[in-house]
Amino acid sequence: MAKDPRKHQKKIERRRAKERRKSAGAVVAQGMAGRMTRISVAPILHSCCYGDLDDQGMTQALISRRLHGGDVAFAIFLLDTYCLGVKDVTVHILPRSEYDRTVVAHLAREFAPQPMSPNALRKLVEGAVEYARKLGFSPHRDYRKAAPIFGDLDATSCGEEFEYGKDGRPLYISGPNESSAKMREIISRLDDACGQDEYRVVALVDGNSPLWEDAMMEEDDTTAEDYEDIEYEETDRLRR
């Protein structure tokens, strides 16, 4: 049967449109990375973390630079120091007034800022990236756009040591938007990188059923709803 030339042409047009969108996205990414490189010598405005890093392993690391003309260039790295490294990145340039209102004030609504030296903040972020990569996890796709903001900050000059993992091994805490398929993919990578029983998982439930059953749940009649409240130290790896 001969191909319908109109359908064939539409298929070609869709493919070309997809290629153009992909190319445009790459140009935007390269453009922001280039801008961050150029402004990496501007004075530091803020360098701090928002979140309980010690108790939860999660924090939002903010670094910003003051530009000529009153604008602010900034990057926010959502860090999971227990397992996944850089989970999300926001990188942008805003007028100072908008930056104060939409970035600083917004972050401070949930957590008080914890000031950190710029060198230490870079060490924290890059350490989380390195730890996660050893486990098979790459940083968020926008990390390469934001990383140039660090410029010549010297992480090696920071004497502070940061802990990655929890009690000497990875602890994966599933996020509220992670599907069961995504969770299984992460656990599979941890199996490959660490071996079974060499990491811990705290899994959110799907409906009324846990995605994985732990022996502890069978022994003490813990319900699926209660499972989210179990202390990390008491929760061993969930088995499929």
pTM of the predicted model over 0.75: no
pLDDT tens per residue, range 183-227: 999 999 999 999 988 999 997 555 433 344 333 333 333 333 333
CA atoms within 13 A on the CB side of 34: 6
Query: Which residue type does 89 have?
Result: V
Q: In terms of DSSP bridges, do strands 205-206 and 209-210 run parallel, antiparallel, or are they unpaired?
A: antiparallel
Asked which of 52-66, 98-112, 197-211 is least confident by mean pLDDT, the reply is 197-211
pLDDT at 178 over 90: no
Cβ neighbours of residue 57 under 8 Å, at least 6 residues apart?
80, 81, 82, 83, 166, 171, 173
Please measure the distance between the N-terminal and C-terminal CA atoms of the chain and give it in whole angstroms. Answer: 49
Kindly state the helix (H) or strand (E) to which residue 127 belongs, with its residue range.
Answer: helix 118-134
